[in-house]
Amino acid sequence: MCVHSPAAREQAMTLIQAGMNDCEVSRRTGIPRTTIRDWRKPPHVPTTPRVACPRCWTLSPPMSFRSGDYAELLGLYLGDGYVLRFRRTWRFRLYLDSRHRGIVASSRALLARCFAHNSVSVSHAHDGRMTVLNVYSSHLPCLFPQHGPGMKHERRIALENWQERLVAEDAWAFLRGCISSDGCTFMNRTGRYEYLSYDFSNRSSDILDLFCRACDEVGVEYRRYANRVRIYRRASVALMEANVGVKR
C-alpha cells in the first residue's frame, strides 16, 4: 500500500481548490487519479448524517421537530395515520381528503420539516379523491409507540409521559392535527341563525379522551357524544378559528 506524504496531499488539495480536474492533478503530482478522487470526496464520509436514536439506540438520519411540530404530527397520526413494518425499515402513511388542498400542502411541509433527510412521497387513491403522504424511517415505532396491528379503536391508545408533556406544551398544535385529519368545520343552521362549528369524529374513546383533554388545556368548551366531539359555543369557536383555523 502506498502512503503519500502530507506535503504531497497538501499539493494535490491546492490544485483541487484551484479548479483542476482529477486527471490534471494526477499528471502534475504523480499521484493516482483514484486517490485524487478519494481525497476530493472521501467515500467513507456518508452523504446523510446519522445519529443514534435515544430510544432504541440504532442509527438513522436525524429528525427535527420545531415547537409544536410533534404534537401536530401526533394528532394527524391518531386521526388518519398508519405505521407499517417493512423488512428493513418502517413506513408512515397519512391519508388525506384531496379536496382540502391546504391541509395536504401543510401536512406535506410538516413531514418534510420533521424528516428533513428522508423523502416525502405523494400518491393518490380512489380516483384521486384521497391523497396519501409517505415517509420511511426506522424510528417510526419510537415516535409513535401507539402503533400496532388492527384498527386504533380496537386497541388501547395511551400516550407515554414524554408525549403527554409535548401535547400539554402545545395543545393547539395537537388540536390542529386532529381537526386536519378526523375533524371538520361547518355552518350550523338553526332556524334563521347560522354559526360556525367544529366537529371531531373518531371511533376510539381513548382518542376522543385525548382530544377533550387538549380542549380543556386551552379552555375550549365542547359537547361529547359516543363517537364525536362538537364545539359550537361562540367563544370557543372563536378560539378554535384563531388557533386552529378553518379546514380547507
User: What is the per-residue pLDDT for 248?
Assistant: 75
Per-residue pLDDT of the chain (248 residues; tens, 9 = 90+): 457 787 888 888 888 877 788 898 888 888 988 888 888 776 544 556 777 777 777 777 888 898 899 999 999 999 999 999 988 889 999 999 999 999 999 999 999 999 988 899 999 999 999 999 999 998 899 999 999 988 999 999 999 999 999 999 999 999 999 999 999 999 988 778 888 999 999 999 999 999 999 999 999 999 999 999 999 999 999 999 999 999 87
Determine the Cα angle at 44 with ends 43 and 48, to 5°: 90
User: What is the per-residue pLDDT for 28?
Assistant: 87
What is the pTM assigned to this prediction? 0.79
User: What is the per-residue pLDDT for 4?
Assistant: 78
Determine the Cα angle at 197 with ends 214 and 98, to 5°: 85
User: What is the per-residue pLDDT for 42?
Assistant: 62
CATH hierarchy code of domain 59-243: 3.10.28.10
Longest CA–CA span in the chain (Å) reads 90
User: What is the per-residue pLDDT for 43?
Assistant: 56
User: What is the per-residue pLDDT for 103?
Assistant: 95
User: What is the per-residue pLDDT for 6?
Assistant: 78
Q: What does the domain layout of the chain look like in residue ranges? A: 6-40, 59-243
User: What is the per-residue pLDDT for 10?
Assistant: 83
Residues 6+ apart with CB under 8 A from 58: 52, 138, 139
In this predicted model, what pLDDT tens digit does every residue of 58-95 receive, in sequence order? 777 888 898 899 999 999 999 999 999 988 889 999 99
| C-beta separation of 231 from 220 below 8 A | yes
Rg (CA), the chain: 25
| C-beta separation of 183 from 216 below 8 A | no
